Structure 1
Amino acid sequence: MDPAPPSTTKSWSIHTRREITSKYEIQNRIGSGAYSDVYKARRLSDDLTVALKEVHDYQSAFREIDALQTLQHSPNVVELHEYFWSEDEDAVLVLEYLPTDLASVIRTAKKEWNGLSVGEIKRWIIQILLAVDACHRSSIIHRDLKPSNLLISATGVLKLADFGQARIRLAPGFLSVHDSTQPQVQESSLFHQQETRPNLMEPPPLRTIEEYPKDPIDELQLEKETNFPDVDTSCLATFTTSDIEDDFLKSNYSYNETGNDESALLTSCVGTRWFRAPELLFGSTNYSAEIDLWSLGCIIAELFTLQPIFPGTSDIDQLSRIFTVLGNLNEEIWPGCTQLPDYKIISFGKVENPSGLASCLVNRSQDEISLVEKLLCFDPAGRAAAMELLHDKYLNEEPGPVPLGELRVPGSNRGGDDDGSSESGEWGGGGPMGSDSDFDDFGGFDVTKGSGGDYSIRFE
């Protein structure tokens, strides 16, 4: 959904806000996206370089501020210095400035460095695992892990950023990384704390971790009452007869049917496609922190090969690439998968001889392949937690990880995002990817009409 247009009550520019310009010298815009703009700035009191992130969506701003305050003592999470929040203006977050990211490391290693050493890879992996573990220990699902959201300081410290899509403090019914990701969510349990629901027009209070309330944010109800759609909805669409006739399979958005309301919102998929877990691609809304673990596996694989492991051109192509490597999805491999919302809507031809992850990790050791296999498995319950992986054999054998000071860090030239879009991670403003056809670059398919008027799609 596009950000709201300018109005007579909002400036939509931090340049006109005295409370900000009296404390910061705004130098130049370093990123822009659907939901935010990011500026490089200098703090006047001590000349510290910072990033000012102007967020045009109250929900995203609330999520990000709340997550960063919860994780404020985590050394591998970007630091929030302060924020500005008022009812008639966009929220502005003052973040530590980090000049580059892991996407730039991968890109430079491929083009200029002739790859990364084993010691460098291990140090990057350890820092990523520490960042993800900090989130999951605080019951936060990031939901958009990718190389361009892993920012890096000039001294090689890696920090996770861009929490605008994060699920903060899991609501009742969502489970931890040590449990199944397909819980039976009772609506009554999700909505019973309405009196404690945060008001999006009021800023999250500044607080320490010790002061954080023990009751989780009733975020599902919060999202229900905002004008911005949640990003938990299906990536693969269900169509009625009229949908097929009017606009046949035109995008990777799912149609949110609300009676006869022709203005029903289109809701986007959470996360960036190349790093999106299978349960999301099949429309799950009952997922948990394991979706981050799948993304983590994709990132580690990319560190090994310097190229994305599943670079899908559409959501359907994304699933096809995963199936080609891991094989078809069934109850034996993932108990309960047939209950995923889109499992019976879209199916693929049988993959007789899946290539396996080893085929994607050519010239890598068995320990390296095993590390990726512990994350890139269909069944979310089978994915290893970040803390578990920190004790993995691969990370604790020789050669060991290099010291931070020996990591090669590229300059601050940040290119396009991992999926080829113009946005670039945290400094690119975040927000969901734009719409594109799931079928433009795909082969033949059959459409079958069901008894209820719905259609199912089978791809060859």
Structure 2
Amino acid sequence: MDPESVCFMAREIIILCRLDHPNVMKLEGLITSRASGSLYLIFEYMKHDLEGLLAAPEVKFTEAQIKCYMQQLLRGLNHCHSHGVLHRDIKGSNLLIDCNGNLKIGDFGLATFFHPNQKQPLTSRVVTLWYRPPELLLGSANYGVAVDLWSSGCILTELFAGKPIMPGRTEVEQLHKIFKLCGSPSEEYWKQSKLPHATIFKPQHPCKHCVIETFKDFPASALVLLEVLLP
């Protein structure tokens, strides 16, 4: 029960108490242990997570299933965002699924409150690397709901492709994978950018946007959504 852990858990509990939606994991209760000084959060039981299902060789999602999961994910995120909450770690292992195909967003350990006009800087050291948007990789401390939507775009491509689309090993490699798929910023952007890592991560050669060409076998409706989520 060190002070830092208590602070993080208190924030997570407050956030979970603010949210109430069918596609967000609901906090059912708390259990404390005086002997070990531990605090446990109690949630309903969900048999699967999206990452585990994608890793199973026998599982192949249909277009209808993918649409259903994405609709539930975006509905859950819309509820979070409309209540001033950024999740900041959307990935397959945090998207829980029951035996009836219901999806719920879980693990709000990195979540935070936000306001569109807030001046207080946020940490860029959030979101698991493969799902982290370029502005965070470049060190931005001023961001909003777009960080969760970028991660959702990565999930959408993963559902159709059956595997992560940008599995970078380092932050530099991750950003260059993003540039190769979504295109790199203009020369003018690099000159004007004040982000901390802009000069470090600038690619040697400019890259073109090629999301449509890369995923040309995806359904047309998925490509339209991808263009919004991975601009």
User: Deviations 1:219-261 (Å, cap 9, x if unpaired)?
Assistant: x8xxxxxxxxxx814xxxxxxxxxxxxxxxxxxxxxxxxxxxx
How many Å apart are 1:370 and its aligned residue?
A: 1.6
How many Å apart are 1:331 and its aligned residue?
A: 6.8
Q: Say yes or no: does 1:166 pair with 2:111.
A: yes
Which residue in the other structure is 1:112 paired with?
A: 58
2:43 aligned counterpart, secondary structure: strand
- Counterpart mapping for 1:11-410 below 5 A: 57-71=5-19, 73-84=20-31, 89-108=37-56, 111-113=57-59, 115-168=60-113, 170=114, 174-175=115-116, 185=119, 190=120, 232-233=123-124, 269-330=125-186, 338-351=193-206, 354=208, 356-377=210-231
Residue 199 of structure 2 aligns to which amino acid in structure 1? K
Instruction: Answer whether contact 1:329 1:337 (CA < 8 A) is retained.
Output: no
Moved over 3 A (4+): 84-88, 334-337
- In the alignment, the residues of structure 2 paired with residue 310 and residue 317 of structure 1 have an alpha-carbon distance, to the nearest angstrom, of 9
How many Å apart are 1:93 and its aligned residue?
A: 0.8
CA RMSD of aligned residues (A): 2.6
- In the alignment, the residues of structure 2 paired with residue 349 and residue 331 of structure 1 have an alpha-carbon distance, to the nearest angstrom, of 11
Residue 140 of structure 2 aligns to which amino acid in structure 1? S
- Structure 1 or 2: larger helix share? 2
Structure 1's 118 and 344: CA in aligned 2 closer, same or farther, altered over 3 A?
same
Stretches of structure 2 lacking an aligned partner (at least 5 in a row) = none
Residue 225 of structure 2 aligns to which amino acid in structure 1? L
Give the total of aligned pairs: 229
- In the alignment, the residues of structure 1 paired with residue 96 and residue 212 of structure 2 have an alpha-carbon distance, to the nearest angstrom, of 29
Structure 1's 331 and 351: CA in aligned 2 closer, same or farther, altered over 3 A?
closer
Residue 295 of structure 1 aligns to which amino acid in structure 2? S
Residue 9 of structure 2 aligns to which amino acid in structure 1? A
Stretches of structure 1 lacking an aligned partner (at least 5 in a row) = 5-55, 177-182, 191-219, 221-230, 234-268, 378-460
**What TM-score results when the alignment is normalised by the length of structure 2?**
0.89
- In the alignment, the residues of structure 1 paired with residue 38 and residue 200 of structure 2 have an alpha-carbon distance, to the nearest angstrom, of 40
How many Å apart are 1:344 and its aligned residue?
A: 2.5
How many Å apart are 1:351 and its aligned residue?
A: 2.9
- In the alignment, the residues of structure 2 paired with residue 232 and residue 336 of structure 1 have an alpha-carbon distance, to the nearest angstrom, of 24
User: Deviations 1:111-137 (Å, cap 9, x if unpaired)?
Assistant: 214x32111111111111111111001
**What TM-score results when the alignment is normalised by the length of structure 1?**
0.46
Instruction: Answer whether contact 1:144 1:292 (CA < 8 A) is retained.
Output: yes
Greater Rg over alpha carbons, structure: 1
- Which structure is richer in relative contact order (CA contacts within 8 A, separation 6 or more)? 1
